[in-house]
Structure 1
Amino acid sequence: MNQTIELKIKQHYVAEIANGYPLILKEAAEPLDETLDEGALFKIVRPNGKYVATGYYGKQNKGIGWVLTRNPQQEIDQDFFQGKIKSALQLRDEFFEDDDTTAFRVFNGEGDGIGGLTIDFFDGFYMLSFYSEGIYSFRNLIIEALKETVNYRGIYEKKRFNTNGQYVEQDDYVEGEVGQFPIIIKENGVNYAVDLNDGAMTGIFLDQRNVRLSLRENYSDGKTVLNTFSYTGAFSVAAALGGAYETTSVDLAKRSLPKTIEQFSVNGIDYEQHQIKVMNVFDYFQYAARHNMKFDVVVLDPPSFARTKKMTFSTSKDYPKLLKDALAITAPKGIIIASTNNASFDMKKFKSFIDKAFKESNQRYKILEQHQLPEDFVTPEDYPEFNYLKVCIIQLLK
Structure 2
Amino acid sequence: MKQIKVRNKAKKQFNQQFPLIHKEDLLVGETFVPANEFVEFKSEDNQFLGYGYLGSQNKGFGWVLSFKEKETITPSLIKQILVKAFNRRKHFFSDEQTTAFRLFNGEGDGFGGMTIDWYQGFLVISWYNDTIYSFKEMLLEQIKSALPEAKGIYEKRRFKDDSLPESQFVWGEEAQEPLIIKENGVSYATYLNEGLMTGIFLDQKEVRGLLGSGLANGKTLLNMFSYTGAFSVAAVSGGATQTTSVDLAKRSLEKTQEQFLVNDMDLDQQRIVVMDVFNYFKYAKKKELSYDVVVLDPPSFARNKKKTFSVAKDYSKLTTEAVEIIEPHGMLIASTNAANVSFDRFEKMVEKGITNGQRRYKPIKQFRLPEDFVVSKHFAEGNYLKVLVYEII
2:338 counterpart of 1:369: no
Match of 1:316 in 2: 312
Match of 1:53 in 2: 50
Residues 38 and 57, structure 1, Cα contact 8 Å, conserved in 2: no
C-alpha distance after superposition, 1:4-24 (max 9, x if no partner): 422111112111112110100
* Shift in CA distance, 293/81, structure 1 to aligned 2, threshold 3 Å: same
Question: Structure 2 CA distance, aligned partners of 1:31 and 1:272?
Answer: 63
Match of 2:296 in 1: 300
Identity of aligned residues (%): 47
Residues 26 and 63, structure 1, Cα contact 8 Å, conserved in 2: yes
C-alpha distance after superposition, 1:138-157 (max 9, x if no partner): 11111000111111111111
Matches within 5 A, 1:118-197: 118-150=115-147, 151-163=149-161, 170-197=166-193
Match of 2:241 in 1: 245
Question: Structure 2 CA distance, aligned partners of 1:370 and 1:296?
Answer: 19
Specify every segment of 5 or more residues in structure 2 that has no aligned partner in the other structure, as ranges. none
Candidates 229, 233, 239, aligned match of 1:233: 229
Match of 2:197 in 1: 201
What is the one-letter code of the residue matched to 1:203?
Answer: G
Match of 1:342 in 2: 338
Instruction: Tell me the CA shift for residue 35 of structure 1.
Output: 5.2
Question: Structure 2 CA distance, aligned partners of 1:329 and 1:373?
Answer: 29
The root-mean-square deviation of aligned C-alpha atoms, in Å, is 1.5
Which deviates more, 25-34 or 130-139?
Answer: 25-34
The secondary structure found in structure 2 opposite 1:211 is: helix
C-alpha distance after superposition, 1:315-366 (max 9, x if no partner): 0000000000101111111101000000002111111101211222222101
What is the one-letter code of the residue matched to 2:146?
Answer: T
Which deviates more, 137-146 or 204-213?
Answer: 137-146
2:256 counterpart of 1:260: yes
The secondary structure found in structure 2 opposite 1:59 is: coil
Question: Structure 1 CA distance, aligned partners of 2:61 and 2:369?
Answer: 24
The secondary structure found in structure 2 opposite 1:197 is: coil
Match of 2:68 in 1: 71
Instruction: Tell me the CA shift for residue 176 of structure 1.
Output: 1.0
What is the one-letter code of the residue matched to 1:117?
Answer: M
Residues 82 and 146, structure 1, Cα contact 8 Å, conserved in 2: yes
Residues 169 and 199, structure 1, Cα contact 8 Å, conserved in 2: no
Residues 102 and 372, structure 2, Cα contact 8 Å, conserved in 1: yes
Question: Structure 2 CA distance, aligned partners of 1:245 and 1:168?
Answer: 45
The secondary structure found in structure 2 opposite 1:244 is: coil
The secondary structure found in structure 2 opposite 1:162 is: coil
C-alpha distance after superposition, 1:73-129 (max 9, x if no partner): 333232122111100011101111111110000000000011110000000001110
The secondary structure found in structure 2 opposite 1:146 is: helix
C-alpha distance after superposition, 1:284-308 (max 9, x if no partner): 1110011111000000000000000
Question: Structure 1 CA distance, aligned partners of 2:303 and 2:339?
Answer: 19
Match of 1:357 in 2: 353
Question: Structure 1 CA distance, aligned partners of 2:201 and 2:364?
Answer: 23
Specify every segment of 5 or more residues in structure 1 that has no aligned partner in the other structure, as ranges. none
Question: Structure 2 CA distance, aligned partners of 1:36 and 1:53?
Answer: 16
Residues 160 and 167, structure 1, Cα contact 8 Å, conserved in 2: no
2:326 counterpart of 1:330: yes
Residues 312 and 341, structure 2, Cα contact 8 Å, conserved in 1: yes
Residues 81 and 141, structure 1, Cα contact 8 Å, conserved in 2: no
Residues 16 and 378, structure 2, Cα contact 8 Å, conserved in 1: no
Question: Structure 2 CA distance, aligned partners of 1:18 and 1:51?
Answer: 9
Candidates 5, 9, 21, aligned match of 1:8: 5
* Shift in CA distance, 194/289, structure 1 to aligned 2, threshold 3 Å: same
C-alpha distance after superposition, 1:11-61 (max 9, x if no partner): 121111121101001111113456534543221111111211011011012
Residues 294 and 329, structure 1, Cα contact 8 Å, conserved in 2: yes
Residues 24 and 65, structure 1, Cα contact 8 Å, conserved in 2: yes
Which TM-score applies when normalising by structure 2?
0.97
Match of 2:85 in 1: 88
* Shift in CA distance, 371/169, structure 1 to aligned 2, threshold 3 Å: farther
C-alpha distance after superposition, 1:240-293 (max 9, x if no partner): 111111000001111111111110011110223210011111111110011111
What is the one-letter code of the residue matched to 1:156?
Answer: Y
Question: Structure 2 CA distance, aligned partners of 1:344 and 1:14?
Answer: 23
2:382 counterpart of 1:386: yes
The secondary structure found in structure 2 opposite 1:156 is: strand
Residues 100 and 186, structure 1, Cα contact 8 Å, conserved in 2: yes
Candidates 264, 270, 274, aligned match of 2:266: 270
Residues 106 and 112, structure 2, Cα contact 8 Å, conserved in 1: yes
What is the one-letter code of the residue matched to 2:88?
Answer: L
Which TM-score applies when normalising by structure 1?
0.96
Question: Structure 1 CA distance, aligned partners of 2:213 and 2:220?
Answer: 15
Instruction: Tell me the CA shift for residue 169 of structure 1.
Output: 6.4
Match of 1:17 in 2: 14
Residue-pair matches, total: 392
Question: Structure 2 CA distance, aligned partners of 1:162 and 1:65?
Answer: 16
C-alpha distance after superposition, 1:139-198 (max 9, x if no partner): 1111000111111111111111023xx697611111111111111111011101111000
* Shift in CA distance, 387/149, structure 1 to aligned 2, threshold 3 Å: same
What is the one-letter code of the residue matched to 2:160?
Answer: N
Instruction: Tell me the CA shift for residue 70 of structure 1.
Output: 1.2
Question: Structure 1 CA distance, aligned partners of 2:207 and 2:380?
Answer: 19
C-alpha distance after superposition, 1:201-241 (max 9, x if no partner): 00000000000010221321110100010000000000111
Residues 371 and 392, structure 1, Cα contact 8 Å, conserved in 2: yes
